[in-house]
Amino acid sequence: MSLDRVADDDPRIVGLRRMRIFATLLLVAMTVVFVATFFIDQTLPGLGYLRAFTEAGMVGACADWFAVVALFRHPLGIPIPHTAIVPHNKARIAGAMGRFITNNFLTPKVVAERLAGIDGARWIGDWLADPNNARRTAHSVALGLPQLVRELPRERFAELLEKSVRRGLEAMPAGPVASSLLAIVWAQGQTQKLLERSLDLMAASLEQNKAMIRGKIEAGSSRWIPRWVDGVVADKVIAAATSTLAEMRDPTHPWRLELKAAIEKLIERLASDPEMQAIVEEAKTQLLDNPLLHAQIRALWGEIEGRLPSDISVYSEQIETAVSGALTGSGRWLQDNPAAKTRINRWMRVLIRRAIVPRRAEIGAFVTDVVNRWDASTLVNRMELQVGKDLQYIRINGTLVGGLVGLLIYATTKWFLPA
């Protein structure tokens, strides 16, 4: 990478070339004036001062030109010792850059202080709430989703679903989980509703099957007992059963209270009794080893897959509208929810710190490696582009300061030292 290959409209190269030309023209001007002083009237007042100024200015300009050029290359291509400093010390510069970034930019304190001033959640909320951003993102999703769905390995997904379900069930302690689920269902009254529904079904079944019950009782009765007696007995049995079912609708019924106590005891045992937990774990293991479970999981995936359209591109407009609305809504929610923004910012800061700080040495080593891989000319030209413009001011200052020093020396010798 040479400066000639950098884009002509790059402001860095334009500024560097402008300052080079200016510094060189200043040296040329000093030289022209110095030479001209030998061809004009030597008795002209102040001529010595002008000659001293331009002569010292040329010396200063040449000396600083040499110093600036010697940083990056050999002056005039001559391999003078201690010139071309940057390319000769590329490895040392690369290591210093890596260490500098590691020790000054990626320390825990610096990273924490920098992250504390970044409100990433607010930026995310503002970006999502912008309808244009949401619309562009949703459009990209709507275009890419059909292709993604077509490329999905559906058979692989079925295997993944089966393995995920099994691993999830194996990882869960069956007893405590069953205890929690049963406690939730019982607390919400679902079991009571199920019991009451069962009582309704049993009462309706008794009412609908009176004739069958009477027939069963008559068939099992002695032939010496009159049929009308069997009918009375059957009616009494049915009436007693119906009455018992009606009484059990009362939550304070003894049987309901016994059931409540039994379920609460079961919930407690599932949570704390090792023997009960072992029984439930054994049942869970048998369930997981049952081929019927795996067949049901695959059947479930087959049902899901069967309901997936073969080509969802026809729904692109609906997808785009839904995604756009979801993104915009999420952004507005985030804007209006300071607590959520605080939590998200905290999570982001923790994640970034955990991702960067422990690896700061690796990042520094990466910077060192990248710089080491540059060839010498690439390193020289990149550094010169960054600081070269300012270095040309050194040439300009050297020309002017050198001229002033020469003028001061000439004036001192002229006025204070004997001729």
**Looking at the whole model, is its pTM more than 0.75?**
no
Q: What is the 3-state secondary structure (H, E, C) of the chain?
A: CCHHHCCCCCHHHHHHHHHHHHHHHHHHHHHHHHHHCCCCCCCCCCHHHHHHHHHHHHHHHHHHHHHHHHHHCCHHHCCCCCCCHHHHCHHHHHHHHHHHHHHHCCCHHHHHHHHHCCCHHHHHHHHHHCHHHHHHHHHHHHHHHHHHHHHCCHHHHHHHHHHHHHHHHHHCCHHHHHHHHHHHHHHCCHHHHHHHHHHHHHHHHHHHCHHHHHHHHHHHCCCCCCHHHHHHHHHHHHHHHHHHHHHCCCCCCHHHHHHHHHHHHHHHHHHHCHHHHHHHHHHHHHHHHCHHHHHHHHHHHHHHHHHCCCCHHHHHHHHHHHHHHHHHHHHHHHHCCHHHHHHHHHHHHHHHHHHHHHHHHHHHHHHHHHHHHCCHHHHHHHHHHHHHHHHHHHHHHHHHHHHHHHHHHHHHHHHHCCC
Query: What's the pLDDT at 174?
Result: 72
Note down pLDDT in tens along the chain; length 419 residues. 444 444 456 677 777 788 889 989 999 999 999 999 888 877 777 888 899 999 999 998 898 888 888 877 888 778 888 777 777 777 887 888 888 888 887 888 888 888 787 888 888 888 988 888 888 888 888 777 767 666 666 666 667 766 776 677 667 777 777 777 767 766 666 566 666 677 677 777 767 766 776 666 666 665 655 666 656 666 677 777 777 767 776 677 776 677 777 777 877 877 788 887 788 788 877 777 777 776 777 777 666 666 555 555 666 778 788 888 888 888 888 888 888 888 888 888 888 888 888 888 888 888 888 877 877 777 777 777 777 677 888 888 888 999 999 989 888 888 876 65
Is the dihedral angle over the CA atoms 18, 24, 30, 34 positive or is it negative? negative
**In the chain, where the domains are located:** 3-88+374-416, 155-307
